[in-house]
Structure 1
Amino acid sequence: MPFPKNFLWGGATAANQIEGAVTEGGKGLSTADVMTVGGHGVKRRITPTLEPDTYYPSHVAIDHFHRYKEDIALFAEMGWNCYRMSISWPRIFPNGDEAQPNAQGLAFYDAVIDELLAHGIQPLVTISHFETPLGLQKYGFWENRQLTEFYLRYATTLFEHFKGRVKLWLTFNEINCMSTQPWVAGGIDSEDESVRMTAAYHQFLASAQAVQAAHAIDPENKVGMMYCGHFAYPNSCNPNDVIGTMNFMHQMLFYSDVQCRGYYPRYKLRELERQGITLPIQPGDLDELKRGTVDFISYSYYMTHVTGEKTQGILKGLNGLDTGYKNPYLERSAWGWAIDPQGLRYSLNLLYDRYQIPVMIVENGLGAVDTVEPDGSIHDDYRINYLRRHIQEMKKAVELDGVPVMGYTSWAPIDSIALSTGQMSKRYGFIYVDLDENGNGTLERRRKDSFYWYKKVVSSNGEDLD
């Protein structure tokens, strides 16, 4: 059984990692725009305000804002029928709380989406992808319930403006990062679990309201959630390791439980009770959550973890990976991420068995250092091998296990600023961009070997992986 004929093949990007043009077209600043490269390029550093003589990667990024036609033409050359993109919230509402949208921002995305459609590429739009308008800081960001109103105004604006042109939506990127990287997920700079859980609750409510609005505005709209792919194996068959892994997965999967099922699972309610945390529930909220469940679940998949009795709490972002254990059976990337193709099949089964709704992989890829040869070619067999093995396991999930997988969009099809580090040397793309760690370069685009390989994969609907 091959992949379905309507299977979605493409790539995925985020506005703050590719667009640049940080203040052009009336755009306001976002939480991403005050994140710079940290010590030794290992992690991001957040500055309360913009500092002089400091390199902020998102301010220019790879200049997709001015080069989107060139980039989309390259995507079309690979034969895509889907492109997962994000819309920058502060490009539409510069401070986040305006009554009317920024016409220049809408015009830019009109041009991008029309260009995609002209090439036969269906847009899958992430409404909020790690760039909360910085102007909402005065409200306390997502700790404040008012943000649900501002978000719904923004989302409704998109649903109405792009009606008929965009039919696939994601409400929040990797929403469970509120527990691991709360500043990234929503401007929350706090170690207080009650603050994080309040912010998460408000995002759940905002998402549920947006799902209902999307369906009301256009019944053809399909709205999904996006889960940051944390999946774990027990360190051993010791029951303590199994329970430790269960607790770890509860910390992550409760986010998808709420968005897919429409209510908080009992295990999470009991945990919040033990912690003395009271959710800011108002009359009618629980009905909103039930009415606003998503149509499909999407997720990022880069690795699996090993967890157990020694695992305390949750990960501090993907860059730390300190669960107390390592998997001796897996190789690792140059950035220390475990490479586990079979885990992709496992994760697809886990999510479908749990929620019984369609699943889509919207991020999967290998960050690596690429070398441009004297003749301009880039031989990235390591990336091809990584993607081939993962697509093979996705194929098994479809053919052998019967999981209804909607599609696959690799991360990131064109080299972009790395979220976790701010580096440019951590490259994922099929398309090379001439840019270094300090923002220097011609920004010239080059096709890597993987470009031609992925073109063949797409044209064969996943049959030709050689």
Structure 2
Amino acid sequence: MKFIKDDFLWGGATAASQVEGAYNEGGKTLTLLEMKPFLPIKNRKAIHFGGQTKEEMLDSIENKQNLHYPKRFGIDFYHRYKEDIALFKEAGMNIYRMSIAWSRIFPNGDDEKPNEAGIDFYRNVFEECKKAGIKVMVTMHHFDTPYEITKKYGGWTNRKVIDLFVKYAKTLFEEFDDVVDFWLPFNEINVAIWSTEVGLGVFESDFKSKNERDQAAYQGLHHQFIAQAKVIELGKKMCKLKTKFGCMVANITTYALDCNPINEIENLKSQQISRWFFYDVVAKGEYPTYIKRYFTENNINIIMENDDEKVLKNNTVDFISFSYYMSATVAVQGKDKASGNVSTGGKNPFLEATEWGWQIDPIGLRVSLNQMWDRYQKPLFISENGIGVLENLDSNNTVKDDYRIDYLGKHFEQINEAIKDGIDVFGYTMWTPIDVVSASTNEMSKRYGMIYVDYDDYHNGTGNRFKKKSFNWFQNFMKTKEF
């Protein structure tokens, strides 16, 4: 089968905290993610965000327990980016979605001037991409609020952080407008609700009750909504006309477990609260009526300034990007649960799942694309999609990952079908082109890439890169557009 869109963008996505390493080089400071150790996994199908107390995370600054902190080392992209980008080019990628570490640009969060060493590093990375003929999509905040902002301001629950973030964005526009093609202010912005540490830089153990936590989470989320809108407003003034600004949401497509009306309405409500709310705010520019009812019934009061609603309405996104890994079912009294990248859902008896319990549903991607196109009529970009698997190099220094080839091919087929449906979907970046440290479990052994990185969970190994079978498959796909 041949892919029908010639100008489609194909590539891969990574996050600074999962690839860069060099946590104490070039003036960089720690983020909360780099304060979480690797702990042996007892249950891979559990949700792993969180788990450490504030005290344990603070102890990690000096590593008093002599634990291993994988995100401080990543895959050493900081020193090996030329090698990696050369591999991306060899694979045929024509777009690379990556993130900038805020703490490399403003190590103290509120520095008067940006850190030149950080700016130089990213300039070098972007220039390397341009030499390779690879477009660049940049995420400004990928789960890595600098710890200094947590310590001084309490993270995103403090409205002052909006101004700090806009100043950071202004610096990025000034320095990199000529080499960045697409900007995403926040990665999976809805994660703020599921993990305040990951999404907002706020310690979960600081909250005394669920209501206090929910109030803080939605208030911090509101501040990120306003920050994103202000960044888009600023970018439209500062950047070249062809630069586009998007959102990124963790897309959780669900189905009612059966046709029982009580499960249908439960699924509708679940989709509204866990999914549509976030898209509605950034794409339509307003808080929907259903979330206002939810706030009232759950005693959540969002504090807004006078012009907040106007800022949101006037600065919606140019395009919608989202992650899609799996689908789930919803029922009022569902029995079996399935894991996911940010939350749990019900099991679907028609789907297979990974070792981490993520249900594989390529058709659900086409469903998602149709739903979003019908609802928003904005260009769509799939910014994360992939499969994590336990893998080891074979005697030929490769991995015969036919399961990944099958996974990617079936998802590509559904993108093709969505384009035939008339949907404006313009690009796809797999998670991820190269093995990285897992965001949730801190594992290296949960491997997503078509390039193998020789590190184990404790970073034993050479760090050398090896092409998997999927690398050659993708390379051939980019030449022939046949899958």
After TM superposition, is the score higher than 0.5?
Answer: yes
Matched, 1:428 2:448: yes
1:334-353 maps to which residues of 2 (within 5 A)? 334-353=355-374
Task: Quote the residue 1:376 is aligned against.
Answer: 397
Whether contact under 8 Å (2:139, 2:184) holds in the other structure is yes
- Aligned partners of 2:29 and 2:334: how far apart in 1? 40
Match of 1:59 among 72, 90, 106: 72
Task: Quote the residue 2:234 is aligned against.
Answer: 213
- Aligned partners of 1:421 and 1:194: how far apart in 2? 27
Whether contact under 8 Å (1:364, 1:409) holds in the other structure is yes
- Aligned partners of 1:277 and 1:77: how far apart in 2? 51
Whether contact under 8 Å (1:180, 1:315) holds in the other structure is no
Matched, 1:185 2:203: no
- CA gap of 1:126–1:458, structure 2 versus 1, over 3 A, is same
Partner SS for 1:37: coil
Q: Which amino acid aligns with 1:424?
A: M
Aligned-pair distance for 1:131?
0.2
Partner SS for 2:400: coil
Task: Quote the residue 2:382 is aligned against.
Answer: 361
Partner SS for 1:85: strand
Aligned-pair distance for 1:317?
6.4
- Aligned partners of 1:390 and 1:62: how far apart in 2? 27
Q: Which amino acid aligns with 1:307?
A: V
Task: Quote the residue 1:14 is aligned against.
Answer: 15
Matched, 1:228 2:259: no
Task: Quote the residue 1:394 is aligned against.
Answer: 415
Aligned-pair distance for 1:255?
0.9
Whether contact under 8 Å (2:318, 2:379) holds in the other structure is yes
Aligned-pair distance for 1:279?
1.2
Matched, 1:264 2:278: no
Matched, 1:81 2:94: yes
Whether contact under 8 Å (2:17, 2:74) holds in the other structure is yes
Match of 2:144 among 117, 128, 131: 131
Whether contact under 8 Å (1:178, 1:200) holds in the other structure is yes
Q: Which amino acid aligns with 2:464?
A: E
Partner SS for 1:377: coil
Pairs aligned (count): 459
Whether contact under 8 Å (1:259, 1:293) holds in the other structure is yes
Match of 2:317 among 281, 284, 294: 294
Matched, 1:196 2:217: yes
Q: Which amino acid aligns with 1:246?
A: L
- Aligned partners of 1:128 and 1:112: how far apart in 2? 17
Listed one character per residue, the Cα deviations across residues 107-128 of structure 1 (whole Å, up to 9, x for unaligned) are 0000000000001001100010
- Aligned partners of 2:231 and 2:343: how far apart in 1? 33
Partner SS for 1:298: strand
Listed one character per residue, the Cα deviations across residues 344-384 of structure 1 (whole Å, up to 9, x for unaligned) are 10011111111110000011111001231112121110110
Whether contact under 8 Å (2:191, 2:342) holds in the other structure is no
Structure 2 gaps of 5+ residues are none
Matched, 1:25 2:26: yes
What is the RMSD computed on CA atoms of the aligned residues?
Answer: 1.7
- CA gap of 1:16–1:380, structure 2 versus 1, over 3 A, is same
Partner SS for 1:207: helix
Aligned-pair distance for 1:72?
0.2
Which moves more between the two structures, 186-195 or 198-207?
Answer: 186-195
Whether contact under 8 Å (2:338, 2:347) holds in the other structure is no
Partner SS for 1:349: helix
- Aligned partners of 1:6 and 1:287: how far apart in 2? 35
- CA gap of 1:383–1:90, structure 2 versus 1, over 3 A, is same
Whether contact under 8 Å (1:234, 1:245) holds in the other structure is yes
Identity in percent = 41
Aligned-pair distance for 1:12?
0.3
Q: Which amino acid aligns with 2:482?
A: D
1:160-175 maps to which residues of 2 (within 5 A)? 160-175=174-189
Matched, 1:248 2:270: yes
Aligned-pair distance for 1:320?
5.7
Match of 1:443 among 450, 459, 463: 463
Q: Which amino acid aligns with 1:438?
A: Y
Whether contact under 8 Å (2:194, 2:343) holds in the other structure is no
Task: Quote the residue 1:104 is aligned against.
Answer: 117
What TM-score does the superposition give when structure 2 sets the normalisation length?
0.92
Q: Which amino acid aligns with 1:175?
A: I
Match of 1:151 among 165, 168, 180: 165
Partner SS for 1:25: coil
Match of 2:302 among 253, 263, 279: 279
Q: Which amino acid aligns with 1:259?
A: V
Listed one character per residue, the Cα deviations across residues 426-460 of structure 1 (whole Å, up to 9, x for unaligned) are 10101000000111110010000000101112223
- Aligned partners of 2:217 and 2:4: how far apart in 1? 40
- Aligned partners of 1:263 and 1:320: how far apart in 2? 25
Partner SS for 1:36: coil
Whether contact under 8 Å (1:181, 1:317) holds in the other structure is no
Listed one character per residue, the Cα deviations across residues 30-60 of structure 1 (whole Å, up to 9, x for unaligned) are 1211122235264354442213311101111
Whether contact under 8 Å (2:322, 2:382) holds in the other structure is yes
Structure 1 gaps of 5+ residues are none
Q: Which amino acid aligns with 1:329?
A: F
- Aligned partners of 1:278 and 1:68: how far apart in 2? 45
Partner SS for 1:169: strand
- CA gap of 1:267–1:425, structure 2 versus 1, over 3 A, is same
Aligned-pair distance for 1:316?
9.0
